[in-house]
Structure 1
Amino acid sequence: MARASRTLAQRANAPTLLSGITVIVSGALLLAGSGAGARAQGETGPAPAPPGAIALDVIEVTARRSEEPLTNVPVSVGLVLPREIAMEAPTNAAVDISRNVPNYSVTDVGNPLFAFGAIRGIGTLSFPQNPFDSTIGYALGGSPISMYAGSQQLLDVARVEVLRGPQNVLFGRSSEGGTVNIVPAEADGVRDIRVRGEVGSNGNYLTDLIVGGTIVPGVVNGRAAVRFVGNHGDVTNLIGGQALPSNEIGAARGALRFFLGERTTVTVSGFYERNRSDTFNYILRDGPGYPATALDAPLGFKRNLALGNIEVKHEFDSFDLTGTFGVQNIQAKMRSDNTDGLIYSQLIGLPFGAFSSPTCSDCTRYSFDERVYSGEIRASSKPNAPLRWIAGLSMYSSRFDQGGVNRSSFGPTQNGLYDAKLKLDSYSAFAEAGIPLDERWTLTPGVRLGYDTISRAGSYLSNGAAGTVPSFNEFGKVSDPFVAGGATLSYKPNEGSLLYGSVKRGYSSAGFPYFNIYSVFGQPAPSYPASYAWTYELGGRTTVLDDRVSLDGAVFYNDVSDGHVNSFDLLANTFVIAALDYRTYGFELSTRAKIADGWSAYGKLGYVHATFANVPVADTTGARNGARLPGVPTWSGVVGLENRLALEPYGLKGNLVSSAELQFVGGPRTADIANTFDLRPYRIVNARFGWEGESFKVYGFARNLFDASIELAGTAFSPQVLAVTPGLGRVIGIGAEMSF
């Protein structure tokens, strides 16, 4: 499969692929929408199914900041629902769910603080510059959050919406490639009391407690959830014998919704996570005892993540007014050994024990602290108004402190005491309107106007290493007005179908890296410019066969200017920051079907061709024209099958519930900017089987059932010494859940 995918990817060209997929998607959706099941545009709700028919559930999303059926949204939306989240490792679900969303890829280098994503190839390439250089945005219930909070526990989450394409207009400044919106379960007053537990191989365990309902009728609803989860991986540290990664995580989420009269609600919500992990960055590819590492001390990671938000909403006769205020407090500490013995033994030619030190002489210790304040006030049309519109003002302010002590035997750049303070202040105004041109056509223009200011104050104190200055202080500042937005033209053949085309301009701000590798030489940290992207998209969705089958697809082309790139020289312990142009094009297709009573299936497929453009000759990053972007899979997708078998006809109680899915990543996926080597394709099978009664369920589960070898990221220490970050191996376990 991987070889066939590679051949197809190499032979495909942009005009043929885009025109062919456009014809297929548009033709199929138009034919489906104009078929016998079509309804008049004026009718509301899905068509009534014939007696005995089996129909898909109606899915509602908040891709346009208010809840509405997915069939009304002219945006490519990748959805991850609770049943799909439950198939992934709870300690790493925020990263692993990317395999359920074609053309959303997450590069995981072992440290959840630095797990970074790309949507359709647009993202933070190689390494995030700082917590507000995300290029793709992260949101919690629609409110923007730091990139360092994007990898939070998906506890008591209703769904995750991956909105492909620029979302700057409605989701803020840092959404050039798209937005990942985590939508928690609401305090809706519905009684929901559950406790769940799991145990599995490799020390996996999980305990969830969820309580929700009405506290005082008509006055306040509440919802709260608590989780304790942990696991061990299957990477062996040859010095010490630990099984890595090793995680212990506690998390809590809660919300209170107050009703101040019939028209005003106040919702107070919060999330807290305490993460303690021992892990690694890269290990020697196919080295002795693979997967194995040789570290004096594992990469020790600690993070306390606290998020709070207040939303006040008042319903006027002709519009709704909503105000939000959010606070984020992120505190993290990291310890790492800079010289993995297995990697450096291959580089230097000495036994791996020669790079071991009981005092961890080449270790690094860092601290990261970020405090964020955000606010927004917006007015929006009533849900069923003939003219849909939204307008508002927003601010986002971040204060980030990073300090660390470095010591390295390999060059001067990783020696000394470093400190940096970064500040971001962003203010903007936004507006979007859906203007009906007739009963079927709607034009939706939108714009965000803003102004960003980013400053960096840094200091350095040498530890006496040769080649370093005794001390150095610096200050830099950039200010950046910006305009982002675009227009979408949509067409509804009937109530259950939608076709759309859009042109959008995405934006990601200028700024500074948090770490200045050049301060050891007395040189200030270089800034990087703002990045802009023009995105062109055609897409649509429909349901057919009496609403038993849904079809969803889109084709796209992205033209990115000054994309933010880090290029590493791992032997010299240096990196350079560059702004490089690149182009990406491709498609997404997805379907879900009710096959028969109790049976459903789904499939999702994505293709991305992503290459650099306009690269100067002999560029220091190693990039070149036509070279592929790092970490971006060419092909990605998932196919799954679900079954619910009622036992009552057999004289038994309850239901047998089973599900299985195959996730795959194929085609060329280069590890680094210079395209030194490709990461291997992989296929993962996840499965669950269990029994469910009215208030109790028990199940068995398997993650990565066939123990596939997964390469999540990679880097080249030399052309011959390659290192990768492996994913989790097979886990088999059992679980139970009780409702009250």
Structure 2
Amino acid sequence: MTANAQEAQPSTATPATGNQTTQGQAAATIADVVVTATLTEESLQKVPVAVTVVDGKQDEKENLNNINDISTIVPSLNFRDGASNKDQGLFIRGVGTVTTSPGAEPSVSTVVDGVVLARPGQATLNLLDVDRIEVLRGPQGTLFGKNSSAGVVSVTTAQPTADLHGYVDLSYYDKNETRLKTAASGAIVPGTVNGLFGVILSNYDGNVTNVFNGDTVNGSSHEGFRTKLEITPSSNLKALIAIDYLHSRETNPTGVITSSTVSYPGGVKTPYPAFGGIIAPVVPSSDNRSVNINTPTHADDDNGGASLQLDWKVLNHTVTSITAYRFWNNYQYQDQDRTSVLTAVTPQQSDVGKVNFDQFSQELRLASQKGQFIEYVGGLYYLHAADSETYRRTTTQVGPVVNSGFASYGITSDNIAAFNENTVNLTSSLRAVAGWRVIGDNLSYHHTRTSTSASAVPGIAVSSPYTSDEVFKWGYAERAGLEYDVTPWATTYATYSHGYKGPAYNVFFNMVPATQGKVLDPETSESFEVGVKTKLFDDRLVLNAAAFHTDFENFQANFPNLIGGTVVTNLVNAGTVTSQGVELDFTAKPTERVTLSGGIAYTDARITSTDIVGRNWPIEGQTVPFTPKWKANVRADYLLPLNDKYDIDFGTRVRWQSDVQYDLAQSPDTIQKAFGIVDADITLTNRDDGWKFAVIGKNLFDKSYASYLQSSAATAAPGTAGYIYRWVPRDDSRYFGINIRKEF
């Protein structure tokens, strides 16, 4: 199934791939999509929230393996790439928070099976046994917490079933990419205990060559599992125990050189021919896929946890308790100079960073039955998070002169909240929605750094004594609106939302506590949204649209700054941001055999006021990073029954986006020009035996692009030379693969 247009079943059911007749041919109608955007199961067409749904089957069909891949087919969702999970993040409607500081939370919250992930790095998980992914656009703070001021990505994984079934899914793609997924589910104690166990193993060599030693990099490997036990001691009580773990290794280089010329200052081109000679035989270009580095850059990541969900039906209500513990450990080893030769202008620099993070959360909520005059859900929430990090940087200058710095830092945070959201059924077609959340945040940090040099050397600030600080703040989120069924096939809504993201500390290796140890103000938003959801032509067309206008105050954003001779992305209150636009999602079944689906988003997100001074380019009035103004995708599927046993499905997806700026400081070098990508797949299905065989082609027209661009000349003095580097996505060039799946 495709984004926001195909059938997704409730979380207790196995997802379907479309309505089926007894002959296996797809029916010519579109079934309702069931979502949990309001923490209760409800039809997508009746939820007064802009939601895009990606069915779990689509992950397998199109080689979509993580949230980054999902962002390529959801127009309002964008992704910031990086050298490891620690450096990555999500954006919805132009707004997100990207920082390596443990003292800041994301603006886009990721929720897995009802458990909020507190750090952005936890969210870049591999997709295993996913039922559906819901992308909720706009502030969602009343039900999903404070770190959802821009939106929520809610992942629901498959649930245990009483019937015994399972699958084995094996894929192979160019560049030696292999992927194995397998899972089985069934009754352990008939009528009382059902279990599910799934495993994922994958390996990908990469698509970048390190000419220093001939290694292939920019690859990854994953090994993980998820297991669930569903225990139903009575018809009124259900317990769900979930345990998951994923180990990942990424070999992403810290940027691939695209140019040894920068536009600094004021757009004037400043060549840096010496750097081109240093990295030879690498030739900088927009489609370069080679590096010349002598440090084996890689990152190891361990992500896992356990949760217990209890659902108790009592007195026409459902009481839900979700108790969860999660951990995230990240180890980075990076080549920061991006060269293999020590010269007077290119010191050798390597970094080693470690993150140890864990969180405990408890949510308790009460939900009324559907169909009452007032339907409500409310509850209490608590989250405790603790982060401990170390970071060592070693710089070698001509001499050789070797210096190093070592920092130890971390945060502790506690979040408490009470929340409630109500739907008042004024008439059979008119409903009012009102909700609130009261939030308390206690946040503290500590930091210390020792350096071998008494004065700053490239990339290493001087020693800093132990410092710490603590803050407590109250905040709130709220939502109010009206929803009206104009006809049985068209629902409209209008909502107002106040979003809130709590205080933050910019804690990192090279921080200077005297100037950077001050707490950042909470980020707040005021959002207005109108939308319409329709199901037309005898359920052959689903067409949903939304228009929005959101103002953010004290926007927390990264701004490049020169500290200790190296550019760092300094977290600041960047000022006021306005995000406004229009979104459209659709699914159409013009015939039994043809399905069309897709979406388009127009997002105008700009910095409307700020105290930040840019690098000779004005910040005020410019676009915020990571979000193209236009982004669209369309998928077409044609199902051809060959006989009473075999089907063949021809699918293709076209996605396109306009220019995107990757730098808040508005460097002209960090703009990715507009581009389009075409993918295709052919699937042969044996309905009787449960076999599927697919051939998948990605980026058929071989279009190279950057998933992220940075400039090394961030805040250097006028005339200082620099270079531009990019992150290379998996589909930077055309590749093909096959997928074989056996269900039993």
When normalised by structure 2's length, the TM-score is 0.86
Aligned match of 2:318? 320
Aligned match of 2:567? 573
Counterpart Cα distance in 1 of 2:629 and 2:179: 34
Whether contact under 8 Å (2:391, 2:509) holds in the other structure is no
Query: Given the alignment of the two structures, is residue 614 of structure 1 paired with residue 633 of structure 2, yes or no?
Result: no
Q: Give SS of 1:631's match.
A: coil
- Over 3 Å counting, the alpha-carbon distance change for 1:443 and 1:337 in structure 2 is same
Whether contact under 8 Å (2:449, 2:464) holds in the other structure is yes
Deviations 1:97-156 (A, max 9, x none): 10111111111123223220111011115x353375101111012221132211101100
Whether contact under 8 Å (2:662, 2:710) holds in the other structure is no
Whether contact under 8 Å (1:634, 1:669) holds in the other structure is no
Counterpart Cα distance in 2 of 1:415 and 1:574: 17
Q: Give SS of 2:708's match.
A: strand
Q: Give SS of 1:280's match.
A: coil
Match for residue 427 of structure 1 among 412, 416, 420: 416
The offset of 1:457, in angstroms, is 0.9
Aligned match of 2:80? 107
Aligned match of 2:683? 690
Q: Give SS of 1:607's match.
A: strand
Query: Given the alignment of the two structures, is residue 373 of structure 1 paired with residue 367 of structure 2, yes or no?
Result: no
The offset of 1:369, in angstroms, is 0.7
Match for residue 151 of structure 2 among 171, 178, 197: 178
- Over 3 Å counting, the alpha-carbon distance change for 1:664 and 1:208 in structure 2 is same
Aligned match of 2:110? 138
Residue type matched to 1:491 in 2? Y
Query: Given the alignment of the two structures, is residue 715 of structure 1 paired with residue 706 of structure 2, yes or no?
Result: no
The offset of 1:86, in angstroms, is 2.5
Match for residue 125 of structure 2 among 145, 152, 155: 152
Counterpart Cα distance in 2 of 1:443 and 1:421: 44
Whether contact under 8 Å (1:99, 1:636) holds in the other structure is no
Aligned match of 1:331? 329
The offset of 1:231, in angstroms, is 0.8
- The total of aligned residue pairs comes to 673
The offset of 1:190, in angstroms, is 3.9
1:210-289 → structure 2 map (5 Å cutoff): 210-285=183-258, 288=283
Counterpart Cα distance in 2 of 1:339 and 1:53: 58
Aligned match of 1:71? 45
Residue type matched to 1:308 in 2? A
Query: Given the alignment of the two structures, is residue 737 of structure 1 paired with residue 725 of structure 2, yes or no?
Result: no
Query: Given the alignment of the two structures, is residue 676 of structure 1 paired with residue 668 of structure 2, yes or no?
Result: yes
Whether contact under 8 Å (1:500, 1:539) holds in the other structure is yes
Counterpart Cα distance in 2 of 1:336 and 1:143: 31
Counterpart Cα distance in 2 of 1:123 and 1:259: 40
Q: Give SS of 1:84's match.
A: helix
Higher mean C-alpha displacement, 151-160 vs 508-517: 508-517
Counterpart Cα distance in 2 of 1:673 and 1:608: 19
Counterpart Cα distance in 1 of 2:567 and 2:344: 19
Query: Given the alignment of the two structures, is residue 726 of structure 1 paired with residue 728 of structure 2, yes or no?
Result: yes
Aligned match of 1:81? 55
Counterpart Cα distance in 2 of 1:307 and 1:313: 20
- Over 3 Å counting, the alpha-carbon distance change for 1:479 and 1:131 in structure 2 is closer
The offset of 1:88, in angstroms, is 4.7
Query: Given the alignment of the two structures, is residue 362 of structure 1 paired with residue 366 of structure 2, yes or no?
Result: no
- Over 3 Å counting, the alpha-carbon distance change for 1:639 and 1:690 in structure 2 is same
- Over 3 Å counting, the alpha-carbon distance change for 1:53 and 1:575 in structure 2 is closer
Deviations 1:183-217 (A, max 9, x none): 10112324321101111210110111110122222
Match for residue 370 of structure 2 among 377, 383, 388: 383
Q: Give SS of 1:233's match.
A: coil
Aligned match of 2:622? 627
Higher mean C-alpha displacement, 624-633 vs 490-499: 490-499
Whether contact under 8 Å (1:516, 1:524) holds in the other structure is no
Aligned match of 2:716? none
The offset of 1:495, in angstroms, is 4.0
Counterpart Cα distance in 2 of 1:53 and 1:376: 41
Match for residue 507 of structure 1 among 500, 505, 524: 500
Structure 1 runs of 4+ aligned residues shifted over 6 Å read 410-414
The offset of 1:460, in angstroms, is 1.1
Whether contact under 8 Å (2:394, 2:402) holds in the other structure is no
- Consecutive unaligned residues of structure 2, counting only runs of 5 or more, are 1-20, 260-281, 714-720
Whether contact under 8 Å (2:625, 2:660) holds in the other structure is no
Counterpart Cα distance in 1 of 2:234 and 2:645: 45
Counterpart Cα distance in 2 of 1:441 and 1:473: 59
Counterpart Cα distance in 1 of 2:442 and 2:90: 24
- Over 3 Å counting, the alpha-carbon distance change for 1:459 and 1:670 in structure 2 is closer
1:249-648 → structure 2 map (5 Å cutoff): 249-285=222-258, 288=283, 290-341=288-339, 353-354=341-342, 361-409=348-396, 415-464=404-453, 466-467=455-456, 469-519=462-512, 525-569=517-561, 572-579=566-573, 580-616=575-611, 618=613, 624-648=619-643
Whether contact under 8 Å (1:418, 1:458) holds in the other structure is yes
Aligned match of 2:717? none
Counterpart Cα distance in 1 of 2:614 and 2:220: 40
- Over 3 Å counting, the alpha-carbon distance change for 1:511 and 1:413 in structure 2 is farther
Counterpart Cα distance in 2 of 1:414 and 1:183: 48
When normalised by structure 1's length, the TM-score is 0.87
Deviations 1:323-361 (A, max 9, x none): 1101001111000011012xxxxxxxxxx634699xx95
The offset of 1:726, in angstroms, is 2.1
Whether contact under 8 Å (2:81, 2:708) holds in the other structure is yes
Counterpart Cα distance in 2 of 1:112 and 1:479: 28
- Over 3 Å counting, the alpha-carbon distance change for 1:216 and 1:700 in structure 2 is same
Residue type matched to 1:148 in 2? G
Higher mean C-alpha displacement, 522-531 vs 491-500: 522-531
The offset of 1:518, in angstroms, is 3.1
Counterpart Cα distance in 1 of 2:473 and 2:509: 21
Aligned match of 2:277? none
The offset of 1:668, in angstroms, is 4.5
Counterpart Cα distance in 2 of 1:68 and 1:680: 40
The offset of 1:93, in angstroms, is 2.5
Counterpart Cα distance in 2 of 1:370 and 1:414: 29
Residue type matched to 2:316 in 1? S
Higher mean C-alpha displacement, 726-735 vs 244-253: 726-735
- Over 3 Å counting, the alpha-carbon distance change for 1:621 and 1:244 in structure 2 is farther
The offset of 1:720, in angstroms, is 6.1
Residue type matched to 1:479 in 2? F
- Over 3 Å counting, the alpha-carbon distance change for 1:522 and 1:545 in structure 2 is closer
- Consecutive unaligned residues of structure 1, counting only runs of 5 or more, are 1-48, 342-351
The offset of 1:716, in angstroms, is 1.6
- Over 3 Å counting, the alpha-carbon distance change for 1:623 and 1:268 in structure 2 is farther
RMSD across aligned C-alpha pairs, in angstroms? 2.6
1:111-130 → structure 2 map (5 Å cutoff): 111-125=84-98, 127-130=99-102
- Over 3 Å counting, the alpha-carbon distance change for 1:413 and 1:639 in structure 2 is farther
Aligned match of 2:700? 705
Whether contact under 8 Å (1:390, 1:432) holds in the other structure is yes
Residue type matched to 1:726 in 2? V
Q: Give SS of 2:388's match.
A: strand
Deviations 1:74-106 (A, max 9, x none): 00001111243235545x532011011111111
Aligned match of 1:662? 654
